[in-house]
Amino acid sequence: MNNKLKSPVNIPVEKIRPFEGHPYKVLDNDEMNNLIESIQQKGVISPVVVRPLENTVDEYELISGHRRLRASVKAGLETVPALIYAVSRDEAAIMLVDSNLHREHILPSEKAFAYKLKLEALNHQGKTFGQLGQKYSRDLMAESVDESSRQIHRYIRLTYLIPELLELMDEDKIAFSVGVELSFLDEQMQYDLLRVIEEQECTPSYSQAWHMHKDFNAGTLTAESIENTLASEKPNQKPMCKVPIEKLQKIAPKVKDKDFEDFVLKACEHYYKYLQKQRSRDRDAR
């Protein structure tokens, strides 16, 4: 881009504002602690990206590098290296989404709000073309993120979930397809559902979510019917063994996420055979 400075400049951290509506979470976790330590030792290796903020003097809006900026502040830095782009709000929104969308780990809520932010920016850029511009925006969006228009729409539906249900999705306690169906319930019904989830310590299956969506459209969904629906037995109410993915990754770092179930089952089978052999040797030794 022509308006990109050839080299980064150091900008005081108090002059940089977070991007309004930033869809990606900045968490104070182990990764953040590692980043803080790295910055304390080596400085900020990759500059953040900013744009001049309208109607201000020497203030900027952050486009890319929210985690780096937070880590820099926590590391005690007063300035950070930055690349300045003189772009519009809509252009900045698209840049922000694209710079993070292909991370290895991205939460459903992050992708949902990122898609919404980018589509709104594209629609705004094509507003002079009316419905034709909106269709072009959807097609362009689908092509740029390698998703179908339908899947993008399904992700954006998740932004209609109350924060508590969206958090359950991020924690893999509610499936994506279930979340889409629940997003059609109004806020009150979603909170009624959340209360039942907490009381019964279970989450709805897709079939149950689909029926709740259907009943809501028909005007027959009530707090009582939600409670009765979740009271019926379903697979995710049966006892399950849950192991944090981080623990498995430490044991088998090269195993892909989708293969962990098979890995665990084979490991258990191997260990069971080992125990049988051990018991057999003990009997022979008596």
Cα(282)–Cα(286) distance, integer angstroms: 7
Please check whether residue 96 lies inside any domain of the structure: no
Domain count, the chain: 4
Please check whether residue 94 lies inside any domain of the structure: no
Q: List the one residue out of 23, 202, 190, 40 whose CA is nearest residue 99.
A: 23
Please check whether residue 18 lies inside any domain of the structure: yes
Neighbours of 28 (CB within 10 A): 11
Which own/partner contact pairs does 24-27 have at CB distance under 8 Å and 24+ positions apart?
A: 24/66, 24/100, 24/106, 24/110, 24/114, 25/107, 25/109, 25/110, 26/66, 26/67, 26/70
Q: Is the pLDDT of residue 126 over 80?
A: no
For residues 74 and 39, membership in a common domain is answered with yes
Q: What is the model's pLDDT at position 122? A: 85
Confidence of residue 129 (pLDDT cuts 50, 70, 90): very low
What's the whole-number mean pLDDT along residues 28-57? Answer: 91
Among residues 123, 145, 160, which one ends one of the domains?
160
- 43-96 per-position pLDDT tens digit: 999 999 999 998 888 899 999 999 999 999 999 999 999 999 999 999 999 999
What is the extent of the structural domain holding 184?
162-237
For residues 54 and 132, membership in a common domain is answered with no
Q: Is the pLDDT of residue 156 over 60?
A: yes
DSSP 262: H
Confidence of residue 278 (pLDDT cuts 50, 70, 90): confident
For residues 21 and 34, membership in a common domain is answered with yes
Alpha carbons within 13 angstroms on the beta-carbon side of residue 136 total 13
For residues 197 and 277, membership in a common domain is answered with no
For residues 186 and 258, membership in a common domain is answered with no
Q: What percent of the chain has pLDDT over 70?
A: 86
For residues 218 and 149, membership in a common domain is answered with no
Please check whether residue 209 lies inside any domain of the structure: yes
For residues 155 and 166, membership in a common domain is answered with no
- 243-253 per-position pLDDT tens digit: 776 777 778 77
Q: What is the model's pLDDT at position 2? A: 47
- Structure-model confidence comparison of residues 268 and 170, the more confident one: 170
For residues 50 and 125, membership in a common domain is answered with no
Confidence of residue 128 (pLDDT cuts 50, 70, 90): very low
For residues 70 and 9, membership in a common domain is answered with yes
Please check whether residue 93 lies inside any domain of the structure: no
| CATH code for the domain of 9 | 3.90.1530.10
Q: What is the model's pLDDT at position 5? A: 46
For residues 80 and 147, membership in a common domain is answered with no
DSSP 50: E
Please check whether residue 74 lies inside any domain of the structure: yes
Please check whether residue 140 lies inside any domain of the structure: yes
Q: Are the CB atoms for 200 and 231 separated by under 8 Å?
A: yes
Q: What is the model's pLDDT at position 139? A: 73
For residues 267 and 232, membership in a common domain is answered with no
Rounded to the nearest integer, the mean pLDDT of the chain is: 85
Cα(195)–Cα(197) distance, integer angstroms: 5
Cα(26)–Cα(66) distance, integer angstroms: 7
- Structure-model confidence comparison of residues 238 and 95, the more confident one: 95
DSSP 21: T
- Structure-model confidence comparison of residues 262 and 20, the more confident one: 20
The structure tokens listed for 142 are 């689908």
Q: Is the pLDDT of residue 241 over 80?
A: no
Please check whether residue 203 lies inside any domain of the structure: yes
For residues 16 and 45, membership in a common domain is answered with yes
